[in-house]
């Protein structure tokens, strides 16, 4: 292994365009309240990434996703997967990314609630105009199990991404992408502080409910004068259950053209994550699991009585795109870490097809120890020892 680069972690993934270091653009951005000066960096690390304005604006619903989604895996994929969806209508070379600025935190909180009956509104002291919850009403008939079976919580979170378009020295809102995170499992309690029970939700049911909610949301967004007639895309994400070690995935999206208050035909998104090794992955992608198992076996030869190697495989349209591998180790010296990293790097180059991106994270009780990245077609990988 010839190439050792002691550079920042971010550099590891910057493959694609050759960088250009022209002067950054200073632009004026029209906001709801005032005109603000921003800078758009001319340097774009890859066609795969959007540029952003500086200073960076955080979402108005910042922090909500952490409490509403089941795992860090789902949180990360919900964010990055929504950007992949956005590229279908908002190309990275034309649009600038900005976290959601149109939906207020209070608005999203209200939309995530259940719809209430007249009696419930009175009991909760909520006005009818605030009865805008997108989750189904719980009519309080029957046992708790029956109530949750008939009307589970389908919608877990709403994420907004904004896409700005540049015109000479100004930028303005050019499009909005909304992600709806939907539950594959509904969790509930029969009594306060009691045990938590699970109610599985079929994919067909959550997809149907998600599409109904999307139609309501597009009409609400169109009624907001601040949003106006910009194109809007809404995508549906199915999150995994709480103890899953792989993320959920986006499975459908629809687009409303400029000024339209209805969504066009829903398009399927074929993206899936698999845990390597697992019986599900073995059944769906036997040959790819075999590559991983040979790598795993060789890693374990380095350590006696060790079986901690796990992988997360990402497929798009049936094609094996990326494999992320975690190797937790018990090593104590720098020389030992360097030795193992060199060994693991050689295994990456030997065992996996070159059209797949492979990322290996070596960790210990002290944290990250090494990173190995082999991008598709690379003759030599990127390696960084922390």
Q: Which domains does the chain have, with CATH numbers?
A: 9-269 (3.10.570.10), 275-385 (3.30.300.190)
* pTM: predicted TM-score of the whole model, two decimal places: 0.88
CA neighbor of 373 nearest in space, from 13, 4, 1, 64: 13
Q: 329, 363 in Cβ contact below 8 A?
A: yes
Q: Which pLDDT value is given to residue 7?
A: 35
Q: Which pLDDT value is given to residue 6?
A: 34
Q: Which pLDDT value is given to residue 192?
A: 79
**Residues 6 or more apart from 204 whose CB is under 8 A from it?**
none
Q: Which pLDDT value is given to residue 283?
A: 97
Number of neighbours of residue 31 by Cβ within 10 angstroms: 14
Q: Which pLDDT value is given to residue 5?
A: 37
Find the helix packing angle between 286-302 and 334-351, rounded to 10°: 150
Q: Which pLDDT value is given to residue 333?
A: 84
The mean pLDDT values, 10 residues at a time, for the chain of 386 residues are: 37 39 62 74 81 90 91 95 97 94 96 92 92 88 68 96 89 96 92 86 97 97 92 98 94 96 94 96 97 95 81 97 94 86 96 96 92 95 95
Region of 193 (left: φ > 0; alpha: ψ -120 to 50; beta: rest) is left
């990173």: which residue's tokens?
371
Q: Which pLDDT value is given to residue 46?
A: 77
Give the sheet arrangement for strand 319-328, strand by strand.
Answer: 271-276, 310-316, 319-328, 357-364, 367-374, 382-385
């Amino acid at each position: 292994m010839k190439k050792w680069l002691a550079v920042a972690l971010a550099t590891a993934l910057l493959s694609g365009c050759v960088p250009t270091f022209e002067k950054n653009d200073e632009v004026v951005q029209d906001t709801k309240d005032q005109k603000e000066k921003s800078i758009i960096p001319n340097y774009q690390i890859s066609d795969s990434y959007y540029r952003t304005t500086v200073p960076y604006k955080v979402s108005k619903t910042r922090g909500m996703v952490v409490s509403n989604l089941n795992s860090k895996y789902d949180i990360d994929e919900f964010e990055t997967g929504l950007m992949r969806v956005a590229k279908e209508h908002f190309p990275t070379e034309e649009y600038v990314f900005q976290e959601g600025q149109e939906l207020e935190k209070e608005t999203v909180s209200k939309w995530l609630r259940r719809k209430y009956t007249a009696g419930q509104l009175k009991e909760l002291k909520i006005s009818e105009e605030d009865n805008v919850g997108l989750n189904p009403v719980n009519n309080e008939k029957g046992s708790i199990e029956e109530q949750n079976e008939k009307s589970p919580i389908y919608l877990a979170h709403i994420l907004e991404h904004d896409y700005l378009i540049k015109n000479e020295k100004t930028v303005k809102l050019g499009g909005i992408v909304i992600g709806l995170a939907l539950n594959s499992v509904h969790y509930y309690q029969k009594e306060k502080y009691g045990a938590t029970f699970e109610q599985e939700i079929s994919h067909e049911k959550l997809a149907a409910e998600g599409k109904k909610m999307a139609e309501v949301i597009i009409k609400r967004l169109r009624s907001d004068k601040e949003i106006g007639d910009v194109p809007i895309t809404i995508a549906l994400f199915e999150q995994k259950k709480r103890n899953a070690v792989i993320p959920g995935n986006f499975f459908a999206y629809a687009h409303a053209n400029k000024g339209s208050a209805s969504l066009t035909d829903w398009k399927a998104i074929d993206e899936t994550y698999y845990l390597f090794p697992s019986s599900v992955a073995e059944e769906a992608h036997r040959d790819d699991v075999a590559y991983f198992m040979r790598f795993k076996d060789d890693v374990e030869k380095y350590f006696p009585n060790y079986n901690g190697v796990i992988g997360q495989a990402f497929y798009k349209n049936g094609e094996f795109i990326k494999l992320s591998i975690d190797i937790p180790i018990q090593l104590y010296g720098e020389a030992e870490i360097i030795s193992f990293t060199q060994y693991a790097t050689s295994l990456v180059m030997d065992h996996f097809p070159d059209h797949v991106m492979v990322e290996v994270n070596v960790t210990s009780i002290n944290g990250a120890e090494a990173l190995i990245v082999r991008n598709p077609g690379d003759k030599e990988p990127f390696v960084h020892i922390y």
